[in-house]
Each structure stands twice: as structure tokens, then as C-alpha cells.
Structure 1
Amino acid sequence: MSSEDAQIRVYTTSMSGKSNIVTQQNKIEQVLEAKRVNFIKIDIASNAESKEEMRTIMGDDHGLAPQICNGNVYCGNYETFAEANEVGELFDFLKLPNPVKEQS
């Protein structure tokens, strides 16, 4: 899923030899699509500028994908994403309004 209006950026890598990284990236995409959250996927493996952008936003010169940001605001990595999703705080994690809470 991709949208020019998307604020959520998922930094991924197509060059990881670790199956857990691929699994994490796929899970992030599946959850965001299921929750109908518009996002853009940015592959840092083929774009040094995107890798630098991700690391700058994270504040970590050695950060690895997958990482999630809302615009230029760092949200977190896979572990914090999964935890937020598990406890029903995904929209807070993504720094987005929660559509369920807004309907109440």
C-alpha cells in the first residue's frame, strides 16, 4: 500500500539475509494494511539518502530496518510496534488519531 499523502513511513531493506527481518517487515505491512493505515515503504538497501534519513530521524548512526516514522517523528522499531499493536495502542504509537476512539 502506498499513498502520496501518507505520513507513516516504514523503512525496510530488501537486502537482509536474516529471515526474522523479512518476517518483521511483512508483519508491519500486514498490520498497517489491516488497520487501513496509509503508509509508504522505503527500501534503504537501494538508497543511501533514505538510510541516512532514517538514521537521522532515529538518532542512531547505526540503526537497522525495519523502523517506523510519522513524517520526521520517530515512532519505533518492530518490537515497540508489535507491543503497541498487542495492547491496542497502535494509533498512539503511530502518532495518529484512533478512528475507533473518534467514533465513540
Structure 2
Amino acid sequence: MKRAGAKIKKKQQDVVRFLEANKIEFEEVDITMSEEQRQWMYKNIPPEKKPAQGNPLPPQIFNGDRYCGDYDSFFESKESNTVFSFLGLKSRLASKAEP
């Protein structure tokens, strides 16, 4: 069981590092400390995004109440340079004016 926890922690740190590096404001919610937050997360993940068995594992990423996706979706968007779109944010590149 410890290995699963370590994998989850590494994935969470990967998401947090990306958000911090890109100066994206976020709130990290520890669902192990709050039954209310855990239930909110489970309730707000679209049924088609939930695993066939068991509960979805963190990290699950939301922009407010809008579900963005899980870590695998985040990682895929990072690899294809579409994270801002994945997060429902305007790309920083679009706002930088070229001289």
C-alpha cells in the first residue's frame, strides 16, 4: 500500500511544480483529511471519467467546479503543450506581445 501512496504523492508534486513554475494560482486539497472534500470530488467527477471499479485516485484536477481531469490527462496535456487549455485557462503565450 505504501508504494501506491508514494506514486500518488509524486504525481501530486508533479502537478504542483508545474502550477508553481507557471505562476498559476491553485489550492491543494487533501481529501484524506476531509470526508466532505472527498465526497465533493467523487460527486463532481463526470461518470464517464470514473474508474470501472473503486474510487478515482488523486490527484484529480478542477478549475473551480469544472472538472479538468486526472493525472494521466494532465500529463498528456503537458506532453502536447496543451495544459492551459486542459486547465481551462488562456495560454500565456497568447498574452505575450512579440516586438
TM-score by length of 2: 0.82
Q: What residue is the counterpart of 1:38 in the other structure?
A: 25
Structure 2 residue runs of 5 or longer lacking an equivalent are none
Question: Take 1:99 and 1:27, find their aligned partners in 2: how far apart are those partners?
Answer: 20
1:45-101: CA deviation from partner (whole Å, max 9, x where unpaired)? 010010011111113482221100011110001111011011110100000111211
Aligned pairs (5 A) from 1:40-55 = 40-55=27-42
Larger % of strand: which?
A: 1
Q: What residue is the counterpart of 1:57 in the other structure?
A: 44
Q: What residue is the counterpart of 1:3 in the other structure?
A: none
Question: Take 1:25 and 1:42, find their aligned partners in 2: how far apart are those partners?
Answer: 11
Structure ranking higher on relative contact order (CA contacts 8 Å, 6+ apart): 1
Matched, 1:87 2:74: no
Structure 1 residue runs of 5 or longer lacking an equivalent are 1-15
Runs of 4+ in 1 over 6 A off after TM superposition: none
TM-score by length of 1: 0.79
Larger Rg: 2
Q: Say how many residue pairs are matched.
A: 89
Question: Take 1:41 and 1:51, find their aligned partners in 2: how far apart are those partners?
Answer: 13
Q: What residue is the counterpart of 1:76 in the other structure?
A: 69
